[in-house]
Amino acid sequence: MLNFHNLILLKFPMDLLSFQLLTLFFAWVLISGILNFHGILTNFTKGRSGIEKFVLQFILLLFGFFSSILSYITLKSFNKKDILFIFRKCILFSFLFAGIYSLVIEIPAELGHGWAISILGFITTIIHGSESLYLDRLRSLSGEASWFGMYLSFVFPWLMSYYFTASKTYKYYYLVIIIYALILTFLTYSRTAYFIIAFQIIAFILII
């Protein structure tokens, strides 16, 4: 089992090409921001100043940079044969978290239940920083419905893999999860997500 002490002892992947490219990209963004500081300072987008927008995006990149390194170091400590199974389990948990949120709060709110609308309005101000409700399309915890659709198109083949690798006892449970993922995708009204998942289903059928 990985503990904090073992994690600290692991070295950063300084010799890894992907790490070097990620570092180069991060440095390029920072240098570009400095060189174009005047242009960023005078720009405004959707009520936000260029500086505010750049700082927020830079923090997002910084989070992505360090989370990528941490994920690599963490996975490196496990047996290589177990990595994909661990990754798949994390994807399942993330889908269950987002799916339960949609089932308990977002879908009832879209159906017009007042208690769900009140809760959704409260959560929206915290997560999305907006007081306006988003009831036309399903977005779960994502910023936009299309983003949630892209997330679903990413997790869908992993969810399908559970059905084909699980024992007979659990197959039907995973089938319910897969059907629910398709329902969530439909409620996003994202045509791109429709196309990607349809292609994934066809690919699975041809492979099997």
Same domain, residue pair 99 and 180: yes
Integer CA distances (angstroms), 162 to 28, 69, 102, 174, in order: 40, 27, 22, 7
pLDDT at 197 (0 to 100): 96
pLDDT at 9 (0 to 100): 43
Report whether pLDDT(191) > 80.
yes
Q: Could you give the percent of the chain with pLDDT greater than 70?
A: 89
Same domain, residue pair 189 and 139: yes
Same domain, residue pair 146 and 132: yes
User: 33 with 58: CB under 8 angstroms?
Assistant: yes
Same domain, residue pair 89 and 191: yes
89-127 pLDDT, tens digit per residue, is 989 999 999 999 999 999 998 888 888 888 888 888 877
Q: How sure is the predictor about 175, in pLDDT bands with cuts at 50, 70 and 90?
A: very high
How far is 65 from 165, CA to CA, in rounded Å?
A: 33
Domain stops at, among 77, 102, 121: 77
Q: What is the mean pLDDT of residues 118-137?
A: 78
Structurally, the chain folds into a number of domains equal to 2
Domain stops at, among 60, 77, 94: 77
- 87 phi and psi angles, rounded to 5 deg: -60, -40
Q: How sure is the predictor about 15, in pLDDT bands with cuts at 50, 70 and 90?
A: low
pLDDT at 5 (0 to 100): 46
Rounded to two decimals, the pTM is 0.69
Report whether pLDDT(23) > 50.
yes
42-72 pLDDT, tens digit per residue, is 777 766 777 888 888 888 888 888 888 787 7
9, burial (CB in 10 Å: exposed 0-12, middle 13-18, buried 19+): exposed
Same domain, residue pair 172 and 141: yes
Report whether pLDDT(176) > 70.
yes
CA gyration radius, the chain: 21
Q: What is the mean pLDDT of residues 190-197?
A: 94
pLDDT at 186 (0 to 100): 95
Domain that holds residue 121: 81-208
Same domain, residue pair 42 and 94: no
Same domain, residue pair 73 and 88: no
Domain stops at, among 77, 99, 124: 77
Same domain, residue pair 88 and 176: yes
Looking at every residue in the chain, the average pLDDT score rounds to 83
Write the DSSP symbol of residue 48.
Answer: E
Same domain, residue pair 103 and 197: yes
pLDDT at 153 (0 to 100): 95
